[in-house]
Chains A and B, each alone.
Chain A
Amino acid sequence: MSKAKCQRGEGSTRRVSPKPVFDPACARPFVAGLLSVPVAGLGQMVFGRGTRGALFALIEVLFCVLYFRVLALPLARLGTLGTRPGVDDSRQILLAGILAAMVALMYGSFHVYNVLDAARGARGQRQASRRVRLRSFGAVSPYLYTAPAFAGATLVILVPLVFGICLAFTNYNLYHSPPANLFSWVGFENFKRILSPLSPWRAEFLRVFVWNITWAVLGTTLAFGLGLGIALALLNPGVRWRSLFRAILMLPWAIPATVSIMTFSGLFNTTFGPVNQILKSIGLRAIPWFQDPFWAKIAVLLTYVWVGFPFNMAVSSAALQSIPTELYEAARVDGASAWDCFARITFPLLFRVVAPVLVLSFAGNFNNFSIIYLLTGGGPAVPSSRGSGATDILITWVYNLGFQQLQWSYASALAVIIFLIVVGMSMLNFRLSGAIMQLQGEGEQDG
């Protein structure tokens, strides 16, 4: 960057004399940067910023000590994930390796920064001093404010995430299960097995995936439809005791999900559940809610609609109330019917507000673990070789594969696939809602 600036500066002189004149000032940033490549801070020290350079050099020395004392061993063992069965625990080796790699990466980015800083500082004394002033406490403070959150998110979310992704490339299963045995790297083997045609994995993956999509679409649509319908009824100006109705209808949202889901498992119980007893008392047959794949799916959906509609109702009614009333008055003057009002004004305007919320709840529902796990446990069992039940969605299947069958390798590979799907959907959502664009706008202001 700095070199380009120099050449541009020379452009006018170049026209006068065709021979390029060597300007030593132009080489300084380059030399300074080069000096700082092997020894951090050397470039800064040579070009007159002794304290800063000394500090940088000290950091490099400290890192080298840390590297040879602490980091070198876990990094080296990352390649094999352990060699002595029963002594080495591959899980611990992998985790230690990831932590060490992260520290090394952090130092690596510091070192790159150091080289750029040396080059920038050597460009000219005046610029440097201004930059030094800018880089005083004010420039560091954002990082102090965000440091606790980043430390927490890194340890509890990022490190386990990287660990999970790494497991997808190993053979961690029942036969390669620490502490008695070791597991090792297998490359893309698990993904190949899951996605290659004719493998039993693929057939089962597709079946679960289709139900997963169906479940997320149907659940979100039904809960939203019901929520919208009730919000419309609630906002009808003729309705009295509105706050009482509203309080009652909000109850499912307020009740801890575990309580309501387990309650529904009792309600739908085939032998003693009240739903079947009511059906019998009005002369219908009892429905095998948790034994028949079709009815189990209905039960899961019904439960979700009960749990999920209040949120949709709340969001819809907030959105409905934000529609300017003048629009309806104008439409009525023009002779529009109630249906016209709904179809031409309410729905389009409402949809613009709730679309991001809908996509978000679709993504949440796609991975709605607790409702499936606590209600049906993924069952009823269907003929399958990889242990997925009729109502299993990807995430509950992954859980089952990991915790019940100890097939962590496949579970992790599936988790990576789910992760990619959800990230894709969310990217779509943010494109829709414009959050990214808003951020980009802010980014331009960053300067």
Chain B
Amino acid sequence: MADRFKPKCTRPVRAGRPGTAGAYLVLVIACVFVLYPLLWIVSCSFRATAGIVGSSLIPTEASLGNYRQIFTDRNIFFPRWFFNTVKVSAMSSLAALVLAAPAAYAFSRMRFPGRRASLIWLLIIQMFPGFMAIVALYTLLGWSGLLDTHLGLILIYAAGSIPFSVWLLKGYFDSLPRSIEESALVDGATRFGAFTRIVLPLAKPILYVVGLINFIGPYADYLLAQVVITSSSKWTLAMGMRSLTISQFATSWPLFSAVSVLAAIPMVLIFLSSERYIIPGLTRGAVK
């Protein structure tokens, strides 16, 4: 009963009939706009005939041939691309967190000469167009013998994401109460102990978000991977897909579609299940 007296319309748009119909119209059109390309690429991946690709979403002869080929053809070997990509992305995401979290903690909790300058410095240096670094990075990797290795790629991804990660983590650490840490320090815990045992567990949501964003970046990157990696056994997904779209465009399109679908599915699942952490994490860091 009480519900009837609560103001029903609290949202920006009035809940009148025409308003709701309009909202549905907008949403349905938007969903069609979003879904058509996706359904098209899925349907392409089931197409048996290579050359002719039409606009209809239901293929005339559906088959799993493309999927079979990318799991058996040694030149277009999806499992290896996928394994390489996950390995590189996961390791760089982890390395980025290990490098950035202590720094973010120091920036958030300690006051020291050079703190403000360093934070601004971190912001500014990452604005230089990334690939202009490639000539220098290529030389550096050559000196250290890391060319054409996943380790080289991982180190560059991880270190390259430091500024962004530090800022995002610092924003979140700032919002955590200091009282728990301080009482632990009074009880004789070390600074580092307070950081690893108290702050890090409290900061799990943002660690997850930063880790995820640093996972997505390498997962989709093509530019740097293509410069560092040369041998095809070490290719990542993006490189493999690019090779399919460049080589014989129309003929390998169904194969490309199959790889795309399989590459996208894990990301979609991860993303949709963690989306509710991402937005608060991002706006907390960016808006505040």
Contacts and interface: CB of A to CB of B under 8 A. Distances in A.
A252 B272 CA distance: 11
Given A249-B34, A353-B287, A157 B139 contact: no
Interface in B10-26: 10-15, 17, 19-20, 22-24, 26
Given A235-B12, A236-B13, A263-B41, A146 B102 contact: yes
Contacts of B9: 237, 328, 332
Interface string A358-390: 001001000101100110000000000000000
Residue of A141, A153, A239, A249 contacting most chain B CB atoms (<10 Å): A153
Interface in B85-123: 98-100, 102-103, 105-107, 110-113, 115-116, 118-120, 122-123
B128 A233 contact: no
A360 B118 CA distance: 20
Nearest to B41: A263
A398 B131 CA distance: 9
A203 interface: no
B132 A249 contact: no
A272 B52 contact: yes
Contacts of B34: 248-249, 251-252, 306
A123 B255 CA distance: 76
A161 B128 contact: yes
Interface residues of A, number: 112
Given A145-B105, A254-B268, A439-B119, A161 B125 contact: yes
Given A95-B139, A236-B11, A423 B163 contact: no
B271 interface: yes
B180 interface: no
Given A259-B263, A328-B9, A357-B287, A230 B220 contact: no
Contact of A239 (B27, B191, B238): B27
Contacts of B7: 325, 329
A299 interface: no
Which 4 A/B pairs are nearest by Cβ-Cβ distance?
A: A238-B20, A274-B55, A160-B133, A152-B159
A155 to B, nearest CB: 7
B48 interface: no
Given A234-B27, A341-B12, A411 B271 contact: no
B186 interface: no
Interface stretch (A185-193, A208-216, A314-322): A314-322
A147 B20 CA distance: 56
A281 B238 contact: no
Interface string B174-212: 000000000000000001000000000000000000000
B1 interface: no
A69 to B, nearest CB: 18
A236 B162 contact: no
A218 interface: no
Contacts, number: 310
19 contacts: A145-B110, A152-B159, A153-B162, A157-B163, A232-B12, A236-B15, A239-B24, A250-B275, A258-B237, A263-B38, A266-B256, A306-B37, A325-B7, A329-B10, A353-B287, A357-B286, A433-B287, A442-B116, A446-B115
B222 interface: yes
Interface in B145-187: 155-156, 158-160, 162-163, 166
B206 to A, nearest CB: 16
A398 B135 CA distance: 13
Interface string A247-275: 11111111111111011111101001011
B99 A272 contact: no
Residue of A142, A167, A402, A426 contacting most chain B CB atoms (<10 Å): A142
A238 B143 CA distance: 63
B127 interface: yes
Residue of A149, A153, A332, A436 contacting most chain B CB atoms (<10 Å): A149
Interface residues of B, number: 107
Nearest to A314: B279
Interface in A216-240: 226, 229-230, 232-239
A216 B116 CA distance: 30
A312 to B, nearest CB: 12
B162 to A, nearest CB: 5
A360 B286 contact: yes
A18 interface: no
Given A237-B8, A445-B111, A423 B132 contact: no
B57 to A, nearest CB: 9
B223 interface: yes
A374 B222 contact: yes
A150 to B, nearest CB: 7
A330 to B, nearest CB: 11
A288 interface: no
Nearest to A349: B12
A341 to B, nearest CB: 6
A395 B102 contact: no
Contacts of A245: 27, 31
B242 A258 contact: yes
Contacts of B223: 369-370, 373
Given A146-B102, A418-B129, A442-B116, A254 B12 contact: no
A184 interface: no
A442 B110 CA distance: 11
Given A157-B126, A423-B124, A342 B12 contact: yes
A408 to B, nearest CB: 7
B35 interface: yes
Contacts of A353: 283, 287
Interface string A128-153: 00000000000101110110111011
A415 interface: yes
A283 B220 CA distance: 38
A334 B70 CA distance: 65
B62 interface: no
A254 B257 CA distance: 17
B30 interface: yes
Nearest to A325: B10
A274 B47 CA distance: 14
Interface in A403-429: 408, 411-412, 415, 418-419, 422-423, 426
